[in-house]
Structure 1
Amino acid sequence: MTHPVRFHPSIEQIKPDEAETIRGLEEQFDSIQETTAKDYKSGVRAVHAKAHGIAIGRLTVAAGLPPELAQGIFSHPASFDAVIRISTNAGDVLDDAIALPRGLALKVMDVAGERLPGSENETSQDFIMVNGPVFAAPNAAAFLKNLKLLSKTTDVAEGGKKLLSSVLQGVNAALSAVGYESPTIQQMGGAPQVHPLGETYYTQTPFRYGDYIAKLSLAPVAPALTSLTDVKIDVKDRPDALREDVSRDMIEHGGRWELRVQLNTDLDKMPVEDPTIEWSEEESPFVTVATLDIEPQISWQHGTSDRQDDALSFNICRGTTSHQPLGNVNRARNDTYRRSTAFRAQVNGCPMHDPRKPQDIAAE
């Protein structure tokens, strides 16, 4: 039997240039947000700017979990209010014809436990996920290089982006046909134009999982959702096609997802410091620790949802120490994400409040 690796601070390898890289990331985030603020006359996120849906649900931790899975906020059976935000990863608000990876941020509200630095006065546990198992850059320095390229395209004419996306989707489809996935091509606009509610989402980067180390995923299990897996969205002449289709299906049936954990069983095969390496599911499969249920509801209503989206923020470092983000990429994301949130709050004149209950979101 393969045993999970126990967490110890020594598993992280701090790079000597991390502070300099973080400053570079902050500069690029600032550049993207300053550009988009001028264009939209309001502040939007430096990444995942466009939301396709916001929905409130309930996360229920499974009973009878084995000791290695009964960790952190999943240490005992419990039920929490939760909210999800579905998005696209660009820092500008684009026509949905431009095919980019989808994101899903999950906020679990009012959790107990010792807090991570910077979130001592908050009570949520945030998990930020993307519909692919690996990150596009092996470290923060490479992430900075990618971000510099994306920053240069932030204010480029949308027509050119649509044309490039169309070409890259064809390239990505050809690569996928021979069993190769390119996160880089997908980030540039070649991602499959699939329905967000049918996708499985991954943290991509590793986290502490109580005494252990893990990655997490959120997978659709309700038949109404799994029937949408790999279903292509018709985006022709529909700039907000994803928002419209997500809204329709949320109203019709809501959904159920499973939150799953993949424990690290070998630090050589499952490195903490390189999120481009996929952890083998044969070595360590994802195992369900909780279910997320979302009742049928309106997931986007112009006016109300826009205000809620402006007031919400998600950060991988908002949570308990038992789910501490690990690795160079995660360490670089903490300060940059908080900086992005502060920029939005300042530009929009809308202070960020970490919600303790669903009513706090509805009241925004």
Structure 2
Amino acid sequence: MPSIYEKLSIRPVPYDPAFEIEEENEKETAEGIVAEMRRIIEITEKDYGRGVRTVHAKAHGILTGRLDVLPGLPKELAQGAFAEPKSYPAVLRFSTNPGDILDDAVSVPRGLAMKIVGVEGERLPGSEGDVTQDFVTANGPAFVAPTAAAFLQSLKLLSRTTDTPQALKKGLSAVLRGVGAAVEAAGGDATPLKALGGHPATHILGETFFSQAPLLFGPYMGKIRIAPVTERLKALKDQPVQVAGRPDALREEVAKIFSEGGGEWELSVQLLTDPETMPIEDASVVWPEDKSPYVPVARIVVGRQTSWGEKRTERLDEELAFAPWHGLAAHRPLGSVMRVRKPAYEMSSTERRRFNGCPMHEPASAAEIDAPKAEERAA
């Protein structure tokens, strides 16, 4: 039976620095994004008495497993962390995007951050000496803002609503869900409504996740997709979840699934083949799959386990930080939206570490991921 790669006819475009064009006032925009995120974390520190992430504060499950790089990849795909067929320990964190910890009746876009361990190679600035690679993804094929400047404007709106009473947010979310459903039924794009709280109240494990903005893939450029492949996860796509009266409904649903068995996802790459229709500096553009399909490069395998509520999962959520700029130089993030995220993520993890007095920890092996602290052993 011929391999999927034998029929692969795409011709990726090699990276050229000319594809990246710095925005006017990009440095000031980055400083503005850091300021808005600092405003969010200062509010939440007062509310919770502890530091939480400035985005994707609420986790709905922490899973440990492995990432298996597929054998037989052509040279265009055998790059960076996927250069050779091997297995890496992995940690997956499912979340929703606000910087405050909301009742799940406030229905917002979802994220999946993954950290793989034992990756060797030239590192990105700020992650020297580590052997981990992070992929930060969300459940939409493109970013909500095209540029860094537009990202700042949307973040200002988010930061101004951080301290809004949850009762008001839940009421608005219910209205936006209805409007969004009507817009999509009419063939429109409800992405902006979903970002404001109108995301359908569906199962998080049925989602497909994307890097949204591009990154290097060795000498090429591409986007990442993580999609469920086992039937028990695929069956959860668009499955409604009852969120009324269940503030942690998504945590409960994820916990139920993984208490019964494991699951698998496919990690695929879409390589840039046409700079005109697949721009680097407009993160809001969905790259056409008829020009370059997503092609699988790895399988993520997670076994039966407790996804939340143990000291282990709480420790991993507290100690680990996930960022697009943490990893190999071969997977350097590209474009203005990605560039301005670097100082923002660094500020968030630094402030969380400072406020909580808890050092961030980059594991060097599977044993370090699972090694319990003394209080866990005593429990």
Shorter-normalised TM range:
over 0.9
**Counterparts of 2:270 and 2:117 in 1: how far apart (Å)?**
23
Aligned to 1:178: 186
Aligned to 2:208: 200
1:47 counterpart (45, 55, 66): 55
Gaps of 5+ in 2: 1-8, 374-379
Deviations 1:148-169 (A, max 9, x none): 1111110010000001000100
Which stretches of structure 1, 4 residues or more, deviate above 6 A after TM superposition? none
2:222 counterpart (201, 214, 223): 214
Aligned to 2:69: 61
Q: Which amino acid aligns with 2:141?
A: P
Aligned to 1:288: 296
Is 1:30–2:45 an aligned residue pair?
Answer: no
The percent identity for this pair of structures is 49
**Counterparts of 1:2 and 1:318 in 2: how far apart (Å)?**
29
Deviations 1:82-130 (A, max 9, x none): 0100000000000000010010001111101100011112211100000
Aligned to 2:111: 103
SS of 1:345's partner is: helix
Between 353-362 and 63-72, report the one with greater CA deviation. Answer: 353-362
Is 1:311–2:319 an aligned residue pair?
Answer: yes
Contact 1:250 1:297 in 2 (8 A): yes
Aligned to 2:367: 359
Is 1:259–2:267 an aligned residue pair?
Answer: yes
Aligned residues: 364
**Counterparts of 1:106 and 1:242 in 2: how far apart (Å)?**
18
SS of 2:292's partner is: coil
**Counterparts in 2 of 1:262-273, with a 5 A limit?**
262-273=270-281
Contact 1:200 1:219 in 2 (8 A): yes
Q: Residues 304 and 79 (structure 1 numbering): CA distance in 2 closer, same or farther, change over 3 Å?
A: closer
Aligned to 2:160: 152
SS of 2:224's partner is: strand
Aligned to 1:21: 29
**Counterparts in 2 of 1:76-91, with a 5 A limit?**
76-91=84-99
Contact 1:134 1:278 in 2 (8 A): yes
2:252 counterpart (240, 244, 254): 244
Contact 1:220 1:258 in 2 (8 A): yes
SS of 2:104's partner is: coil
**Counterparts of 1:60 and 1:304 in 2: how far apart (Å)?**
24
Structure 1 residue 253: deviation in Å?
1.5
SS of 1:290's partner is: strand
Structure 1 residue 66: deviation in Å?
1.2
Structure 1 residue 307: deviation in Å?
2.7
Gaps of 5+ in 1: none
TM-score after normalising by structure 2: 0.94
**Counterparts of 1:128 and 1:337 in 2: how far apart (Å)?**
11
2:333 counterpart (325, 349, 353): 325
Structure 1 residue 304: deviation in Å?
3.9
Structure 1 residue 302: deviation in Å?
4.8
SS of 2:226's partner is: strand
Aligned to 2:173: 165
Structure 1 residue 311: deviation in Å?
0.7
Contact 1:224 1:253 in 2 (8 A): no
Aligned to 1:70: 78
**Counterparts of 2:311 and 2:76 in 1: how far apart (Å)?**
44
Contact 1:274 1:327 in 2 (8 A): yes
**Counterparts of 1:183 and 1:41 in 2: how far apart (Å)?**
33
Contact 1:56 1:358 in 2 (8 A): no
**Counterparts of 1:281 and 1:179 in 2: how far apart (Å)?**
20
Is 1:235–2:243 an aligned residue pair?
Answer: yes
**Counterparts of 1:109 and 1:4 in 2: how far apart (Å)?**
28
Structure 1 residue 15: deviation in Å?
1.8
Structure 1 residue 71: deviation in Å?
1.1
**Counterparts of 2:83 and 2:238 in 1: how far apart (Å)?**
34
**Counterparts of 2:314 and 2:300 in 1: how far apart (Å)?**
24
Structure 1 residue 73: deviation in Å?
1.2
Structure 1 residue 177: deviation in Å?
1.3
Q: CA RMSD in A?
A: 1.1
**Counterparts of 1:221 and 1:155 in 2: how far apart (Å)?**
38
TM-score after normalising by structure 1: 0.98
